[in-house]
């Protein structure tokens, strides 16, 4: 993300305003709307061998402003691919039929619009009940403890920090679930569902990736050290090489590609190497 875009989205998502300075006119506009954003990993695809920090190359100040963060992976699975392909074909097949049909749109087809209008004009914003507030407080404290324990075990912070902003996100989700049922009070069930959504999205994203310092057998650790030695022999300090070329050279020597990638990640974490040109080039720094 470019720095100027980062500055713009910070104000919009933090203060719900956008400052405009054009043609001698300086003003501030309201931006009270939901934000739906999508982004690709730096390498073009999500790599399970890399840590979450490497796959999610965005500032934590931006990530913490989103209520829900989902990691969508393109997993090659026959049954799932068949369902997706069938759905896309049906969408295209029914598009022409819908254009050629001059049927009258019934009022029932606008039910969602009328449903939202009814809530906006007739209902007041819901509030958390006392049991729901207590449940929310206990779960937030537990989430913070779990993330702190994970940081102590792995020696690195999560890609997405869990702060008070995430607590406010769960509150908004709980109130939104109550709105859907036209309720004036958000109950424990609403909080439970909001926490479930938060867990399978943002929490899963925060814990995604593998830590390179744990779950290594003695044999794997030895192979990684050998890969690091070969990388240092082939790339001098201050020189750079194509990542694909380096991996191909080492795999021809009989090394496993995943071991080579893991060695590169560890050296990157130690700041020995640096990725350039969208991770296509590797620069040896030390």
> pLDDT value at position 259?
86
> pLDDT value at position 210?
47
> pLDDT value at position 100?
54
Average of per-residue pLDDT across 251-257 = 87
> pLDDT value at position 158?
65
Distance between CA atoms of 91 and 157, rounded to whole angstroms?
Answer: 43
Considering the domain 218-284, what is its CATH architecture? Orthogonal Bundle (1.10)
> pLDDT value at position 135?
92
Tens digits of per-residue pLDDT, 76-126?
Answer: 778 888 999 999 998 888 766 655 555 555 566 688 888 888 888 877 888
> pLDDT value at position 189?
93
Average of per-residue pLDDT across 151-176 = 79
> pLDDT value at position 212?
41
pLDDT above 80 (res 208): no
> pLDDT value at position 49?
62
> pLDDT value at position 238?
87
> pLDDT value at position 157?
59
> pLDDT value at position 192?
93
Kindly report which listed range (17-21, 106-110, 227-231, 259-263) carries the lowest average pLDDT score: 106-110
> pLDDT value at position 211?
47
- The residue that leads in pLDDT, 64 or 108, is 64
Tens digits of per-residue pLDDT, 169-201?
Answer: 999 999 999 988 888 899 999 999 999 999 888
> pLDDT value at position 213?
44
Closest of 29, 39, 45 to residue 5, by C-alpha: 39
For the chain, give the mean pLDDT: 81
pLDDT above 90 (res 41): no
> pLDDT value at position 96?
61
Average of per-residue pLDDT across 238-255 = 88
Highest mean pLDDT among 139-148, 174-183, 275-284: 174-183
Percent of the chain with pLDDT over 70: 84
Q: Return phi, psi of residue 128, to 5°.
A: -75, 140
> pLDDT value at position 214?
46
> pLDDT value at position 48?
65
> pLDDT value at position 187?
92
Contact criterion met (CB below 8 Å) for 279 and 55: no
> pLDDT value at position 170?
92
Contact criterion met (CB below 8 Å) for 50 and 150: no
């Amino acid at each position: 993300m470019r720095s100027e875009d980062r500055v713009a989205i910070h104000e919009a998502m933090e203060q719900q305003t956008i400052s405009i300075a054009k043609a001698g006119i300086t003003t501030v506009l309201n931006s009270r709307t939901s934000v739906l954003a999508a982004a690709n990993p730096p390498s073009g695809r999500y790599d399970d061998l890399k840590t979450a920090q490497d796959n999610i190359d965005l500032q934590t100040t931006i990530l913490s402003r989103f209520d829900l963060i989902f990691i969508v992976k393109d997993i090659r699975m026959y049954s799932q691919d068949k369902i997706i392909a069938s759905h896309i074909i049906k969408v295209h097949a029914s598009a022409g039929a819908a254009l050629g049909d001059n049927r009258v749109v019934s009022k029932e087809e606008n039910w969602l619009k009328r449903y939202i209008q009814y809530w906006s004009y007739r209902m007041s914003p819901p509030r958390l009940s006392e049991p729901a507030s207590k449940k929310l407080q206990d779960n937030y404290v537990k989430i913070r403890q779990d993330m702190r324990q994970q940081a102590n075990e792995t020696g690195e912070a999560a890609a997405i920090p869990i702060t008070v902003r995430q607590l406010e996100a769960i509150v908004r989700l709980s109130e939104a679930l109550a709105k859907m049922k036209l309720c004036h009070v958000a109950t424990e069930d609403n909080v439970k569902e909001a926490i479930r959504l938060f867990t399978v999205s943002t929490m899963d994203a925060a814990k995604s990736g593998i830590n390179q310092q744990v779950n290594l057998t003695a044999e794997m650790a030895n192979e990684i050290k050998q890969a690091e030695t070969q990388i240092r022999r082939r790339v001098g300090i201050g020189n750079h090489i194509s990542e694909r070329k380096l991996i191909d050279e080492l795999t021809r020597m009989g090394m496993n590609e995943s071991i080579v990638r893991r060695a590169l990640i560890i050296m990157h974490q130690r700041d020995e190497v640096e990725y350039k040109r969208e991770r296509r080039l590797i620069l040896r720094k030390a």
